[in-house]
Each structure stands twice: as structure tokens, then as C-alpha cells.
Amino acid sequence: MTIWQPDLQNLKGPDYQRLADAIRRDIEAGRLQPGDRLPPQRDLADTLAMTLGTVTRAYQTAARRGLVAGEVGRGTYVLVPPGAEDGDGLLDLSLNAIPPHAYLSELAARLDPPLGARRTALLEYPPRGGHDDHREAGAEWIARRSVHVSPSQVLTTVGAQHGLLIALSATTSPGDAILVEELTYTGVITAARMLGLKPVPVAIDAEGLRPDALDTVARTSGARTLVIQPSLHNPTGVTMTPRRRREIIHAIHRHGLSVVEDDTYGFLNACLSRHENAGKIGKTNGGGPIWAIFDADAVAREKWDPTPPNVDPNGWFYSASTVADLARKIANPYQQQPMAPRTLEETIAKYNSYVDAGKDAEFGRPGPMFKIQKPPFYAAWATPILHDALAGLRTNKRCEALDLRGQVIPGLYCAGETAGGFALHGLPRVTVFGRIAGREAASVRT
């Protein structure tokens, strides 16, 4: 076994990535040779004061990069670099690529700025599935949509069309029928033609794909794959309501369909999310209510009385002896999806860590003063409503509208809620500035 202790200084990223980068660097520098055995993971974890899981992940990352290989009972060994001669006199001809070490030193010296420890990366094919840091970033981004996957389940592509081709290739065979919206993204049709697939249109309406039409076409066509755009559909711009999404999901389960979801613009719905009852109440809400969470200490500190009639327990105020039970109790007609107990517990734990640290590192501001830790715990409706954002047309004191250069637009006057830059709101805003605009407009002779 090689007595190898990596130097992690000047390496960036999480600990597992720094350790994997150190393995690559020391292989390139010759400090680790093909056939060298790396230290046992537990021993290296103790040496570096890391967790065993961190070292295991680093070794796995190095293995995915083709640097090392592990065998149960024998340990982890450094591999022969691609294109280099191994101990049996064999060459790796699986890739038609320049051997990375032949003229590497001369090449590195000629580059400006010089290449660092990962200089051979520019001469290598990327790992299958994408680089680890890219896949991790993808998993974190997907988690924002409440879909939790590991980086190993994420594949990086060279664009949405490439991703669409891969997804269809994985779920179909040439000659298969696939279900598509009757109006769909042209790239879907292009991909289907390239793969020898037969697109079968499914009727849509003002809310997107129709579940009854999906039932009928899935039953009669024999197709087993559905390509769908539920968010900001191209070309109609329609976003499915939650109710329609559930109906489509039920139809998908009934027919055992594989789904290729084109969610290119789904992230835009983070603040434009629509609710089932949006049409009934004439309003939309950015993803659901915001709840103020506090504990018994806050009640005592602020001298609140969290009992009716001071609070409304009918969907607007809740209390429970644990944070998890509090999350389970929250039910409101505006709540798009149930609050996950674990999510609330983790959020409060993070909030409390800011109290311990004395600062909120995420937003770069001083930390809160008091923890949320003493039962009972409370949740109160606290969704802010956007009101008087001071947005609107720019005007002068005569209520004449101004262009982007601050010049008066002749004959155009603006007052009330359409005029920007005033903190006055409601009827006073309308009556005061409406009167000014009317007076000025009437004074102009045409």
C-alpha cells in the first residue's frame, strides 16, 4: 500500500471533490503510479479528519473519472491512464484520442495562463453522463421543483433537443407510436422523425392536454410513451392547472405510459404558479400561502393571546405540540400542496442555526435573536400581498407621461394606479392625480 497523504490546500469545492481532485493531481504529477494502492478509506478519513462517507464519495468520483478502481477485499488501486501502456504491453485503443501524457509538459508550458493540476482534462472525453459537479448542480436545481434525485440520476446534455432525443431513445423503439399534443413543439416532431417514431396527436383545450382524449388515444393507438409540456406550452403558452395535472397523471397510470416531460420553461412558474380555484376567486398566488411560524416563547415575549377571537383556527391559524404535527395540521384552500413535516423541521433548524451563528450567511445579514424551540408551536397566515410597488408609467407634476429619456409624450396623461413613483394609494391617489390629469388635459387646446 502506498503511504499517500494528499495536500488539499488550494483545491476548491466540497471536501469529497477536493480529495478526488488531489488524486487526479498526484497521478498527473507522478506521485501516484499505476498499480499503487490508495489508503483504506477509514484510515484516510481519520488522517484528514473527514467523515468516512466523504472519503467514499471521493473514491467513487475518482473511479467515475477513470483514475482508480476498487475491489472488495483488495482495496482501491490507481489505473493505467488512457492511451498509456500497461504492464501487459497492451494499449487502450477504445478511444481514438491523443495520449494525454506524451507531450503534456511541453503543451502546458506553452499555454497562457499555464494549466493547473487538472491540465489533462482538456484532452479527455468528458465522463459518461457529465461531470460530477454539473450533475450535482442539476440535482440541486431539480430539487427546487420538489423532485429529489441523486446526482447519479442526472444526465447533462448539450441542449434541450439533445435531451429530448436521449429520452425518446430510452423509452421507444423505431416504428413505435408516441403520444403528443395536437399542437406541439416542432422539435418533438423532428426528433420523432429522426428516430423513426410515429407521432399520434392528442386533443388539447384551454387548459392543455385533455384527459378524456388521452384516455381514448392511449387505448386505441397502442402508444406507450407520452411527450407533454405542462408548463408554458409551446406554441400556445398554456400552463396546466393543478387539477388538470392530476387528471392527466391518473390517465397516465391507467394506461401505464412512460412520460417525457418537456419542462424547459417550468422554472418561470415558480412565482406564477396557478391554483385550482384561481378562476373562481379571480386571483392567482405565487405558490401558496406564507406562514409565520413561532413558539410559546414568542407568545410570552410579545404578550400575544393566540386564542379565538384573536385568531381564526378555521384554516388561518394552527397550533401543535411538535413542529411535524404543526405541518400536518396546516390545511388551507389556497395551499397548493400539503406542507411536508420534514421540510418545516429542516427550515426551523436552519433558522435556529442562524441564531447560534449570530448571522444569516445566506442573505448576508445579522441573524435572528430568538430560536423557535419551545412548544406549543404556532402557524399563522402571513402571505404578503403585492400592493403599491410604485410601478407604472413615469409622470411629471402635471401627470404627463414621460418616455424612457424623461421627455414628455405629447397628449398622454396618466393618473391613479397606472402612474408610478407615488406612495399614495387607493381612492386618494385616484382622486388627487385624476383631477390633476383631467385639469391639465382639458387645458390643452387642440
Total domains present in the chain:
4
**3-state class (DSSP) for residue 225:** strand
Q: What is the pLDDT of residues 421-445, one digit of tens each?
A: 555 556 666 778 888 888 888 888 6
**3-state class (DSSP) for residue 187:** helix
Q: How far apart are CA 21 and CA 36, in angstroms?
A: 17
Are 52 and 41 in contact by the 8 Å Cβ rule? The answer is yes
The answer to whether residue 143 is domain-embedded is: no
Determine the structural domain holding residue 166 and report its residue range.
Answer: 160-270
Query: Longest C-alpha distance within the chain, in Å?
Result: 98
- 400-402 vs 408-413, strand pairing mode: antiparallel
Name the one residue in this structure whose C-alpha cell is 402508444.
223
Q: Between residues 101 and 282, which one has the greater pLDDT?
A: 101
Name the one residue in this structure whose C-alpha cell is 411538535.
322
Tell me: do 111 and 183 sit in the same domain.
Answer: no
Q: What is the pLDDT of residues 303-314, one digit of tens each?
A: 999 999 999 888
Model pLDDT, residue 142: 82
The answer to whether residue 26 is domain-embedded is: yes
Among 70-79, 121-130, 155-164, which range has the highest average pLDDT? Answer: 155-164
| pLDDT surpassing 80 at residue 83 | no
**3-state class (DSSP) for residue 84:** coil
The answer to whether residue 155 is domain-embedded is: no
Mean pLDDT of the 282-289 span:
49
pTM over 0.75: no
The residues that bridge with 381 in the sheet, in sequence order, are 291
| Strand segments (E) across 269-399 | 291-295, 317-320, 359-360, 365-366, 377-381
Q: What is the CATH number of the domain that holds 171?
A: 3.40.640.10
Tell me: do 165 and 248 sit in the same domain.
Answer: yes
DSSP assignment, residue 421?
S
The answer to whether residue 278 is domain-embedded is: no
* Phi, psi (degrees; rounded to nearest 5) at 418: -85, -10
The answer to whether residue 298 is domain-embedded is: yes
| pLDDT surpassing 90 at residue 126 | no
Percentage of residues in the chain having pLDDT higher than 90? 33
Tell me: do 375 and 431 sit in the same domain.
Answer: no
Q: Share the mean pLDDT of the chain.
A: 81
The answer to whether residue 170 is domain-embedded is: yes
Q: What is the pLDDT of residues 331-370, one digit of tens each?
A: 887 776 788 899 899 999 999 999 998 888 877 788 889 9
Mean pLDDT of the 5-31 span:
88
Q: Minimum mean pLDDT among 55-69, 79-93, 112-126, 274-288: which range?
A: 274-288
Question: Which three cell numbers, joined as nine digits, stand for 215?
Answer: 384516455
The answer to whether residue 321 is domain-embedded is: yes
Domain end position, chosen among 70, 105, 123: 123
